[in-house]
Structure 1
Amino acid sequence: MRKKYQIQKSPFVVPTTDGKLIEEHFGKATDGNSEISIAHMIAPPGWSEPFQTPEFDEYTYIIKGKKQFIIEGEKVILESGQSIKIEKNTRIQYSNPFESACEYLAICLPAFSIESVHREES
């Protein structure tokens, strides 16, 4: 009989060049799931990404630290214990301009893919 659950003991560590840790627990890179991706991330102090306009809804839950979002021109700062949902096709920039690392969970519906994030040239 097939198990009706899956425990993730070895998430896919996404290679990065900006010091950010990305561990995908479920999603395209780990189990081929294109419906949802769930990742644990740690953004170092001073980290930022280019603006992007993803084709997926993204939910972020802050575990530790603070994270800055620029959402269609509006600056939003979340702290530990807070969460946000950002609707697909919204222009956004993620960053951590603060002095300590930010640890958070990100959930994308449908799953994150580099083809569907639409990052702008920096």
Structure 2
Amino acid sequence: MTQKKYIIQNNPFVVPTTDGKIIKEHFGNTTDGNSEISIAHMIAPAGWSEPFQTPEFDEFTFIIKGKKQFIIEGEQVVLEAGQSIKIERHTRVQYSNPFTEVCEYIAICTPAFSLDLVNRED
């Protein structure tokens, strides 16, 4: 019997959160044990933000709907639907949605996202 050379992800891991953000990891550490890359579908509610962080991974973000604000090394950047960004590892960044509509986006991290590598500030 031949082993399949693809995986269809129909049951992503839903990461528990306390801030109203929905995180569905399709591939990565928690879903399939892949530490090289993680791919997650995110929905950030209006008014959401998280602490500053200095991750040990590159993070690519593609905005599907709404807007998302980034503070990158002190510079404020706002992306809208259809735009994308790459933020290099070891860059201090804060992610937020200070706007009135939900922001839906895809996040890809290389190596994969992990709490050990994100380095969130208290």
User: Is the shorter-chain TM-score for this pair beyond 0.5, marking a shared fold?
Assistant: yes
Give how far 1:76 is off. 0.0
Name structure 2 gaps, 5 residues minimum. Answer: none
Report whether the alignment pairs 1:17 with 2:7. Answer: no
Q: Which residue of 1 aligns with 2:33?
A: 32
Give how far 1:54 is off. 0.1
Secondary structure at 2:31 match in 1: helix
Paired letter, 1:67: K
Deviations 1:15-62 (A, max 9, x none): 000000000000000000000000000000000000000000000000
Q: How many residue pairs get matched? A: 121
Q: Which residue of 1 aligns with 2:51?
A: 50
The TM-score with structure 2 as length reference comes to: 0.99
RMSD: 0.2
The TM-score with structure 1 as length reference comes to: 0.99
**Distance in structure 2 (CA, Å) of the matches to 1:101 and 1:21:** 11
Query: Which segments of structure 1 move beyond 4 Å, counting only runs of 4 or more?
Result: none
Matches within 5 A, 1:83-122: 83-121=84-122
Paired letter, 2:47: G
Percent identity, aligned pairs only, is 77
